[in-house]
Amino acid sequence: MQSPLYADLVLLLEIAIGLVLLVGAWLARKRKFREHAWCQSVAVLLNLVIVAVVMVPSFREQVSPKIPAKLGKSYVALAAAHGALGGIVELTALYILVAAGTKLLPERLRIQRYKLWMRTVLAAWWLVLLLGAATYVRWYVPLSFRH
Amino acid sequence: MKNTRWILGVVLTVLTALAVAVSTRPGLAANNADQSESATVKIDNFSFGTASLTVAAGTTVTWTNNDDVPHTVVSDDKLFKSKALDTDDKFSYTFTKPGTYNYFCSVHPKMTAKIVVQ
């Protein structure tokens, strides 16, 4: 493995966060809504910190200078897709947290169909996680079949 | 006899002056510079092709990324630092002072090597 330590730590943390979100979904099914809210809030906010501290600086330095010229290369395309979809999913998750957990938003901006929104975001979250894992493999794991 | 020595003296003086003039021409100096040494390091399969390369002072080392992921060439003391090199991109640096220059890839920090300048 040729990955830097921070990349290994981020991958492990992201897998853990994905699992915490699944536990949170299970808590909702058990009608433990208070625990569900805590679980999902911690996961989404912890992810926000990781994105801001590690992923955005890394993306700006190594990926964004190659867009759009090198988008045809798989290592750029994977990272760009992960970044774009991940950004949308994180923002949507934050919106759900604010809409469901606070009364900050006016009535017309609140969500009506919570289950649909939350399940969609959870599925998209795991898609982003898989894209992130694929990006990790593409950037850091030497594969003999590439040659 | 006296005339012969005088002519020989003039010829030798002219030849010496010509030799000095030719050897100090800017064009010739440039040609000498062109003959400075160069060396290459290939980057392939997540490693620098030559883990330890010994070169003479004044040598220009050129790294070529033959890998299908980006790599960088960064010296430990930040004396030189390339941008992220895509496939077939090159980066060159001329080593003027003797010493040992350890360097690494900032994207894959476990990729390390060194240049020894004599």
Task: Encode pLDDT of B15-26 as tens digits.
Answer: 555 454 444 443
CA distance B105 to chain A (A): 10
| Chain A touched by B42 (CB under 8 Å) | no
Cα–Cα distance measured from residue B66 to residue B45, given in angstroms and rounded to the nearest whole number = 8
Q: Residue A131 above 60 pLDDT? A: yes
Residue A138: how many CB atoms within 10 A of its CB? 19
d(CA B47, CA B103): 12
* Residue A121 Cα distances to A4, A16, A38, A46, A86, angstroms: 30, 17, 17, 16, 10
**pTM score:** 0.77
Q: What is the pLDDT of residue A110?
A: 85
Minimum CA–CA partner of A69 in chain B: B86
pLDDT tens-place string over residues A28-41 = 999 999 999 999 99
Contact between B108 and A146 using a beta-carbon 8 Å cutoff: no
The C-alpha atoms of residue A128 and residue A89 are separated, in whole angstroms, by: 8
Q: Within 10 A of B41 (CB to CB), how many other CB atoms are there?
A: 18
Q: Is B107 on the interface with A (CB under 8 A)?
A: yes
Write the pLDDT tens digit of every residue in A68-127: 888 999 999 999 999 999 999 999 999 999 998 888 888 888 888 889 999 999 999 999
* CB contact B69 to A (< 8 Å): yes
In this predicted structure, what is the pLDDT of residue B29?
A: 36
B84 to chain A, any CB pair closer than 8 A? The answer is yes
Give dist(CA B82, CA A23) in Å, integer.
45
**Residue B31: per-residue pLDDT:** 37
* B31-85 tens-digit pLDDT: 333 446 899 999 998 999 989 999 999 999 999 999 989 999 999 999 999 998 9
Q: Decide: A129 and A14 in contact? Cβ < 8 Å.
A: yes
Rounded to an integer, what distance in angstroms lies between the CA atom of residue B15 and that of residue A140?
Answer: 66
